[in-house]
């Protein structure tokens, strides 16, 4: 009887150990698949972050201009605007409509031509000589309608105006401060900017 009890106890211990080993789950169980798929998606998340993200930030000013035209150079633009300023002022004084037509927007050209025609009707002539190179500083920059850029430049200039009319000749040294707004489609092949607005400014 004692031996049977001992064997029964040993059998119970062996069965318990077999259950503790064989009873453990092996491989993926149905309830584990959801957790595995979630982990896999999390592992792929960095790849999605590498894609462009639309954070809703709208670029303005020069940043907007450069985003549409990476080749835009501020120094080169200001140098070109000073050249355009001198050309327009001289062409306006001399009544050179052909030169103005290449540099001005139609609305600005029309107003300039009105003054030129009136001056001619009064038998007056004018010429301009710059005493110093004009100073040009960017006042503001805007981009609208996709790629339509408008840059406003503040010009400070000193020039000598010589006029001749029925009453005789006159010489006038002037100092001016003006805001000129230039416009261009940044995606156009034409690199030239046109003058679309002229406003008086404080010196």
**Predicted confidence band at 58 (pLDDT cuts at 50, 70, 90)?**
low
- Of the pLDDT bands very low, low, confident and very high (cuts 50, 70, 90), residue 37 is low
Residues 61-200, CATH architecture: Roll (3.10)
Model pLDDT, residue 78: 97
List the domain boundaries for the chain. Answer: 2-49, 61-200
For 16-82, the three-class secondary structure string (H helix, E strand, C coil) is: HHHHHHHCCCCCCCHHHHHHHHHHHHHHHHHHHHCCCCCCCCCCCHHHHHHHHCCCCCHHHHHHHHH
pLDDT of 34: 52
Please, what is the average pLDDT of the chain?
81
């Amino acid at each position: 009887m004692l031996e049977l009890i001992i064997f029964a106890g040993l059998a119970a211990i062996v069965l318990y150990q077999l259950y503790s080993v064989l009873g453990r789950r092996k491989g993926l169980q149905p309830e584990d698949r959801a957790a595995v798929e979630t982990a896999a998606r999390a592992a792929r998340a960095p790849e999605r972050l590498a894609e462009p993200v639309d954070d809703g930030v709208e670029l303005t000013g020069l940043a907007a201009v450069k985003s549409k035209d990476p080749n835009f150079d501020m120094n080169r633009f200001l140098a070109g605007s000073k050249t355009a300023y001198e050309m327009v002022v001289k062409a306006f004084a001399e009544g050179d409509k052909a030169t103005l037509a290449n540099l001005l927007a139609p609305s600005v050209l029309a107003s300039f031509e009105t003054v030129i025609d009136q001056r001619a009707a009064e038998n007056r002539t004018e010429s301009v000589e710059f005493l110093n190179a004009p100073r040009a500083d960017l006042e503001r920059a805007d981009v609208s309608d996709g790629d339509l850029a408008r840059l406003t430049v503040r010009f400070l200039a000193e020039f000598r105006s010589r006029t001749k009319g029925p009453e005789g000749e006159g010489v006038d040294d002037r100092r001016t401060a003006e805001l000129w707004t230039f416009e261009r489609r940044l995606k156009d092949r034409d690199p030239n900017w046109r003058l679309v607005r002229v406003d008086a400014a404080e010196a």
